[in-house]
Structure 1
């Protein structure tokens, strides 16, 4: 049985990023097709590219302040009126639609009650995290902008493993981005590519040989 679970936040412990973005696109009257083209280029470079650094690398490591990134991103985007959106508060508005998935938190409580260590490993975009009750579900918290490292860099995984005192082979890693799963598996971890709470909990039950709550 695995001795540790490392887990992402946005899109795993919350509803999906696409759900939040859809709400923001409607509220801010964003040109959705143009937004998706811009973000596809940025994210592909940040998670699948090997041709140098980008503003996303710097933002996630905390090397670039949120307001500076907001100005850069706003200049790349357009509203349906053909003008850039308001830069100030752009990231907060983009992520405002994230909703907590209680089934995942209940699962983490059960995992810890059974002696399995838990660690949050999250790439931040200068965003605030709702940390109420986190001491009940996490043994350690690793947020990219606070530690100056980001997924899928191996060093952030090594850091997280050190926080819970476990080797990669002893841990399960849960994330909704395939590149991060690949990086974790390269360090010996078992990866679960999260798509929804039900399938992730079922897969984790099998790996841990435990019965976990789903609601």
Structure 2
């Protein structure tokens, strides 16, 4: 029987990262093709193995957001052929995130049914909207605050310890497949998030509960 839910924030409790990035690319007049090439290399490296890069350091809090912004801005180019403004780059990238109310409602129902919940998020030096989190989460694990990151096994062990449950009693919800695979390797059930409705449907089946949805 599953008695715990570990859940990501960006792209799961919010609208998709790709939507937010698309808004930022348009607003800052970024060369989108070049951006995708740069980020594919950085992110594929960060989540596919093969050594450390700036994403690892940022997500663990080993470098601050300003340092990463300077590094990323130097790699990017606008449609005018110059680097974008580095200061505030990450804030602008994530400004398009919007909360998905159906997912928040689901978490409230999960907790009302006695299931423990833990936010498990890789941070990019970003601010989180923490109002109301006391009613949503039994524990909060943010990578930059604990010096660990997904998909490292140790951050999953840390999150499980925060809610006092073994992996076999938990399910993990994330929009990045590499993180889901890492959780499953530890005996944690995984839901690869695509949209609220399909995730809630799958979670209802795993928890054997009826949960609110939009």
The alignment's TM-score, normalised by the length of structure 2, stands at: 0.99
Count of residue pairs brought into register by the alignment: 214
RMSD of equivalent CA atoms = 0.5
Q: How far did residue 49 of structure 1 move?
A: 2.3
Deviation at 1:32, TM superposition (A): 0.4
Aligned-partner Cα distance in 1 for 2:22–2:133: 27
TM-score by length of 1: 0.99
Question: In the TM superposition, what whole-angstrom CA distance separates every residue of 1:19-52 from its partner, at most 9, and x where no partner exists?
Answer: 00000000000000000000000000000022x1
Correspondence list, 1:25-174, <5 A: 25-50=25-50, 52-174=51-173
Q: Give the 3-state SS of the residue equivalent to 2:149 in structure 1.
A: coil
SS in 2 for 1:173: strand
Superposition map of 1:177-192 within 5 A: 177-192=176-191
**Counterpart residue number, 2:12:** 12
Partners of 2:135 and 2:93 in 1: CA distance: 28
Q: Tell me by how many angstroms 1:95 deviates.
A: 0.2
* Secondary structure at the counterpart of residue 162 of structure 1: helix
Any stretches of 5+ residues in structure 1 without a counterpart? none
4+ aligned runs moved over 6 Å, structure 1: none
Please give the alpha-carbon distance, in whole angstroms, between the structure 2 residues aligned to 1:143 and 1:157. Answer: 11
